Structure 1
């Protein structure tokens, strides 16, 4: 891989849409679906523990919807980040698996929402099938998150280059210091 290809994966396709150099939007946007879906699973489990679980069942359904809605902008900027990675590289293959898992998880949560929709009126706990679907979806999301971390922390996708990073380790913040970064 050439240095130009490596630098290409660090630069945004569109800084206004995907985030400026060294500060992509994708990592902050994924917190919405992750948080909503993890909390919905906690509520699903809790609905089997409390005396009146209807509020947890209903809340879980709407958290799933919030997660799906939040996944849309996260996916859009994720696609932009994908386009910056040179095809045929291990980083690109990892990104494709990461994207595929995320799309499958989102589809599973759409199905889970539709399966639940309007079914909490009885005030009962979440059905075991729906709970299992949520648990499997979270497990797949965890694998995808691991791959996302690999993209950022191992392959440096959309992470500032080492020269830029070194500015944070000089005594004057990179403003002309001759001190060698640690």
Structure 2
């Protein structure tokens, strides 16, 4: 008897392959070069004995760090698809900091009269926190160094948001971190 539930079928990646390829190219270009720190022979030995996500000789991570957020909230399908695509590619360390609920049309709003809470969330292959505030609160808190042990991510991605998104008001740009916004209208 054949299974019709789809459980045996391979999981389909909802992101266009061109987008994933482009993201991988950008991340690969931003990857720190461990070979510059030591001679080629010493670097080869260190890479063979070091785990894939161990820091290189200069203290930088072996893979670039990507911070994800989404106005649709931590449980949005778009964010889950983006995390899956980046984790499956295994070319970057994925960190997530997103609102605990859908925050549509928040723009550049911040939380000022309420206490913001951060709660750790399980995301396969990613370190994640849900925040009680807005998407701007999420990025500001993530970049502050209070949630994650890194000094700055290589890239911040907002999305995949439902509906149009201008992307120009991204908080990470204020901090000088390369950023993109992905929307599905």
TM-score by length of 2: 0.24
Pick the structure with more strand per residue: 2
User: Max radius of gyration: which structure?
Assistant: 1
Greater relative contact order, per chain length (Cα 8 Å cut-off, separation 6+): 1
Give me the TM-score of the superposition, normalised by structure 1.
0.24
